Amino acid sequence: MKRPLLWLALALLLLVVGASVAGRSSSPAPPAEPADVAVVRGPPADAVTIAKPASGLVTSARSVQVRGSAPWISPDDGEAVVRVTVNRRPHEVFPTAQGYATVVALELGRNEIVVRGSASRFDDDEAVRGSARVVIERRRAPGDDTGVLDRATASMLADSTEEAYWLCGEDDGCSTEPVCFKLGARRVDCAIARWYTEDPVRRCGHVYTLRLRGERLYAGSYACRGRVSPDPRRLVRASVTPILSRVVIDADDEDTWSRFVVNEPNAYGAPRFNMARDRFMP
């Protein structure tokens, strides 16, 4: 009768040992070392999204915010860029880890918004890329500003003239900035402020005047003197009528620098100039 008791004791001992081993083998493994990932967003197919606006939106607004997610990498390690194009009018945005956001001008009718993003390391030729697309519609609404010349367009054109460039020329210590005022539904004048690193007082270089006739823009300039602050409005004069020339920007080269700058938002909003037609977008 003693042998069965011995076998029972051995069986219980094996059961306890087996349970102990099984318990150790099922304990969680140590966390894996984090992978050296260049881009924090998802795979290429999902790398770009448009969170706003929603496709199919109908609006009477002249501009809309476009925002969403895009590939991103630390500027210390590589480069990330997002190109936002509305009806073939592009500009570039540099995303952050939180995504991208910009403001675009809308034309009357159908507006196709295409967003393309990419990110790559400096030491790697391969990039994470993606794209997204929405289509929205802008309709004319009673009482809106359709057809009214805006300060964003005037500021962009005033800042891109040769006359404005030569206020500073190649002097890295010199800066300029348009300060724009609406003088009517079809006229905006911008006093061009100039200042230096060693002399931060802003003084008026000249006044750029922009007029709208139909959908065509005409511009000229006139002289001004004095400090811009504290009352820059005094520098623009509605009674002045300088010689005006039609505004035309060379759009032959689809990758020209001007093609992107002309659509970039500024302090006043999104410019409304269509380079392909050299026309104002009402």
Over residues 202-241, the pLDDT tens digits come to 999 999 999 999 999 999 999 999 999 999 999 999 999 8
pLDDT at 143: 78
Are 190 and 235 in a shared domain?
yes
Q: Do 238 and 188 belong to one domain?
A: yes
Is residue 144 in some structural domain? no
Give residue 24's pLDDT.
Answer: 40
Tell me which H or E stretch contains 219: strand 216-222
Q: Is there a single domain that holds both residue 266 and residue 168?
A: yes
Q: Indicate whether 16 belongs to any domain.
A: no
Say if residue 114 is in the same domain as residue 218: no
Look at residue 255 in the predicted model and tell me its pLDDT.
52
47 touches 129 (CB < 8 A): yes
Task: Give a yes or no: residue 7 inside a domain.
Answer: no
Q: From 6, 9, 282, 16, select the one nearest 150 (Cα to Cα).
A: 282
pLDDT of residue 257: 61
pLDDT above 70: percentage of residues in the chain: 81
Mean pLDDT of 254-277: 85
**How do residues 136-165 score in pLDDT, each as one tens digit?**
999 998 778 889 999 999 999 999 999 999
- pLDDT band, residue 254 (cuts 50/70/90): low
In a shared domain, residues 243 and 218:
yes
Instruction: Look at residue 273 and tell me if it is in a domain.
Output: yes
Task: Single out the residue of 218, 198, 205 nearest to residue 179, CA to CA.
Answer: 205
Query: Does some domain include residue 95?
Result: yes
Of 88, 112, 138, which one is at a domain's C-terminal end? 138
Number of domains in the chain: 2
Does 114 share its domain with 228? no
Determine whether 268 is exposed, middle or buried from the number of CB atoms within 10 Å of its CB (0-12, 13-18, 19+): middle
pLDDT band at 124 (very low <50, low <70, confident <90, very high): confident
If asked whether residues 171 and 268 sit together in one domain, one would say yes
**Which among 92, 112, 138 is the end of a domain?**
138
| Burial class of residue 115, CB neighbours in 10 A (0-12, 13-18, 19+) | buried
At residue 86, the pLDDT reads 97
With 0-12 CB in 10 A as exposed, 13-18 as middle and 19+ as buried, what is 64? buried
Q: What is the pLDDT of residue 251?
A: 63
Please report the sign of the dihedral spanned by the C-alpha atoms of residue 200, residue 204, residue 205, residue 209. Answer: positive
Whole-number mean pLDDT of the chain? Answer: 84
| CB 204 within 8 Å of CB 224 | yes
The answer to whether the beta carbons of residues 193 and 228 sit under 8 Å apart is yes
Read off the tokens for 56. Answer: 């199919």
Nearest-angstrom CA–CA distance, 253 and 258:
9
CATH number at residue 82: 2.60.40.10
- Residue range(s) defining the domain that contains residue 226: 151-280
Q: How far is CA 134 from CA 86, 114, 120, 131, 227, in A?
A: 10, 7, 25, 11, 46
In this prediction, residues 106-125 reach a mean pLDDT of 92
* β-pair type (100-105, 63-68): antiparallel
Residue 232 placed within a domain = yes
133 and 225 fall within a common domain: no
Q: Where a domain ends, among 117, 138, 159?
A: 138
Residue whose structure tokens are 């009674």: 239
Asked if 233 and 276 sit in the same domain, the reply is yes
User: Is pLDDT above 50 for 37?
Assistant: no
Residue 243 lies in a domain: yes
Check the CA dihedral 41-45-50-54 and report its sign.
Answer: negative
d(CA 130, CA 145): 35
Look at residue 4 and tell me if it is in a domain. Answer: no
> What is the pLDDT at residue 70?
93
- Is the pLDDT confidence value at 7 over 80? no
- DSSP-derived pairing of the beta strands 58-59 and 127-138: parallel
* Same structural domain, 268 and 212: yes
The answer to whether residue 196 scores a pLDDT higher than 70 is yes
- Identify whether residues 110 and 158 lie together within a single domain: no
What is the percent of the chain where pLDDT is above 90? 68
Asked whether residue 169 falls in the same domain as residue 275, the answer is yes
- Tens digits of residue pLDDT in 38-79: 344 444 444 899 999 999 999 999 999 999 999 988 899 999
Q: pTM higher than 0.85 for the full model? A: no
pLDDT average, residue stretch 178-186: 97
Confidence of residue 250 (pLDDT cuts 50, 70, 90): confident
